[in-house]
């Protein structure tokens, strides 16, 4: 276990801004939006103080922010931005172009409910609206994970076999504004870990001119999409290599899935983000009462790497999936992914879907217990969506 030299009480936003300072990206273009604002605010201070070499581009909208980092990344720069909610929605057109152009942009997203009606608090509807955009999605449970995953994201996206943009999701306010203890790595250690930018087809290489974003009709578009599908298939192997390396410098282990108390668990809950912390606490309480419960939290949600999940869930009594966003008229996104992964599992567990926390509605221990108790009683219906903390 490497020695902890730099332990600080910081917000998630500060932790991410510090990761960005240590990465020292060539270009950051961003537009402020609650609750992402402090990330960019802290980073802008680093730029003003001259502690980073970054070209900071204050733009007039998120559409421009994503456009600017697309241009920068195509030029061969290490480019980052950050956003949330409606800002991410405004980026959408270019979010898709960033992935399709295979530009390894890194973007922390402080997850927040999409309007309307307008709401600034945490839910996952912003990131879920981008889940098919071709970005890798990593999900953090707390400020420490948000910091670590930002560093991992940079390496993952730039890897030769991947070349994809990466989104680090961290719950708005809960992680972005909550103060927690974070162990930072030394600047020199991070510098060595992230290394020099790995570029491919840089526009600034004027001796080897290339064209980005040409018209791509029925004769080639399909082939380019197939390449993106292939790149996502490489993520599992590359991610594992990088997290092994990260463990050596940090002592912190990141797998595809965070598994807590699952070895002998009969009932497993699955959730993304900060709620996993509350679930872990509830798991401890229920274990004291003799219930064999556990939680699986995806650190990687896109690509959705179901093989490991299938192995973990095979033969359990029940699986409860918690979603912090709805898919109107269809099953909630995480539930849909887990349910479809279970199709090929030999001993299928009973499965149930619970939507919670929309627009920042608090998720309480009693709600999590309630869902577990439904499972204990065998009272789960795979085709029914239930709601935690809603006034019925």
Contact 345, 313 (CB under 8 A): yes
- CB nearer to other proteins: pick between 201 and 387: 201
Interface with other proteins, residue 205, by CB under 8 A: no
What span, in angstroms and rounded, lies between the C-alpha atoms of 22 and 18?
Answer: 6
Q: How far apart are CA 335 and CA 284, in angstroms?
A: 24
Q: Does 214 bind other proteins (CB under 8 A)?
A: yes
Q: Which residue, 134 or 349, is less far from other proteins as judged by CB?
A: 134
Minimal distance in Å, beta carbon 214 to other proteins? 6
Which is closer to other proteins, CB of 200 or CB of 248? 200
Near other proteins by CB under 8 A, which window of 105-113, 219-227, 340-348, 356-364?
Answer: 219-227
C-beta of 117 vs 209, nearer to other proteins: 209
Q: 226: which DSSP letter?
A: H
Interaction between residue 233 and other proteins (CB under 8 A): no
User: Closest distance between other proteins and the C-beta of residue 55, in Å?
Assistant: 23
The CB-based long-range contact list for 227-233 (8 Å cut-off, 24+ gap) reads 227/102, 228/99, 228/100, 228/102, 228/134, 228/164, 231/102, 231/161, 231/162, 231/163, 231/164, 232/134, 232/136, 232/164, 232/302, 232/303, 233/303
Q: Are 133 and 92 in contact, with CB atoms under 8 Å apart?
A: yes
Any contact of residue 219 with other proteins (CB under 8 A)? Answer: yes
Asked if 143 contacts 204 with a C-beta cutoff of 8 angstroms, the reply is: no
Binding mask 88-127 for other proteins (x = CB under 8 A): ------------xxxx------------------------
Number of residues engaging other proteins in binding (CB under 8 A): 24
Footprint of other proteins on 298-327 (CB under 8 A):
none
Q: How far apart are CA 20 and CA 187, in angstroms?
A: 11
Residues 156-175 as x/- pattern, contact with other proteins by CB under 8 A: -------x------------
Binding site for other proteins (CB under 8 A): 100-103, 163, 200-201, 208-214, 216, 219-221, 223-224, 226-227, 230-231
């Amino acid at each position: 276990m490497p020695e902890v030299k730099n332990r600080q009480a910081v917000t998630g936003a500060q932790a991410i801004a510090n990761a960005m300072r240590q990465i020292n990206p060539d270009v950051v273009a961003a537009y402020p939006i609650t609750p992402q604002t402090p990330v960019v605010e802290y980073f802008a201070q680093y730029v003003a103080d001259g502690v980073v070499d970054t070209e900071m581009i204050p733009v007039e909208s998120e559409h421009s922010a994503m456009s600017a980092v697309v241009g920068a990344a195509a030029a061969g720069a290490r480019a980052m931005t950050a956003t949330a909610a409606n800002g991410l929605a405004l980026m959408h057109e270019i979010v898709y172009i960033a992935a399709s152009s295979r530009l390894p942009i890194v973007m922390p997203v402080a997850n927040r409910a999409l309007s309307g009606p307008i709401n600034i608090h945490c839910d996952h509807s912003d990131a879920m609206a981008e889940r098919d955009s071709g970005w890798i999605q990593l999900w953090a449970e707390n400020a420490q994970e948000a910091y670590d995953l930002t560093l991992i994201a940079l390496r993952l996206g730039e890897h030769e076999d991947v070349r994809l943009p990466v989104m680090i999701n961290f719950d708005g306010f809960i992680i972005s504004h909550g103060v927690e203890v974070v162990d930072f790595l030394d600047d020199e250690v991070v510098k060595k870990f992230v290394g020099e930018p790995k570029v491919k087809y840089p526009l600034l290489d004027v001796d080897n001119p290339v064209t980005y974003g040409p018209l791509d009709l029925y004769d080639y578009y399909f082939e380019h999409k197939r390449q993106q599908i292939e790149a996502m298939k490489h993520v599992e192997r590359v991610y594992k290599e990088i997290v092994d390396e990260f463990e050596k410098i940090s002592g912190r282990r990141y797998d595809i899935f965070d598994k807590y108390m699952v070895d002998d668990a009969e009932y497993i809950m699955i959730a993304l983000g900060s709620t996993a912390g509350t679930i872990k606490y509830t798991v401890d309480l229920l274990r004291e009462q003799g219930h064999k419960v556990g939680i699986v939290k995806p650190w990687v949600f896109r690509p959705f790497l179901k093989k490991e999940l299938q192995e973990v869930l095979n033969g359990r009594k029940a699986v409860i999936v918690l979603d912090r966003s709805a898919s109107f008229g269809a099953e909630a996104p995480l539930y849909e992914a887990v349910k479809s992964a279970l199709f090929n599992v030999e001993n299928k567990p009973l499965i149930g879907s619970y939507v919670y926390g929309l627009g920042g509605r608090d998720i309480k221990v009693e709600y999590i217990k309630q869902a577990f108790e439904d499972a204990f009683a065998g009272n789960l219906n795979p085709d029914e969506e239930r709601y935690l903390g809603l006034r019925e």
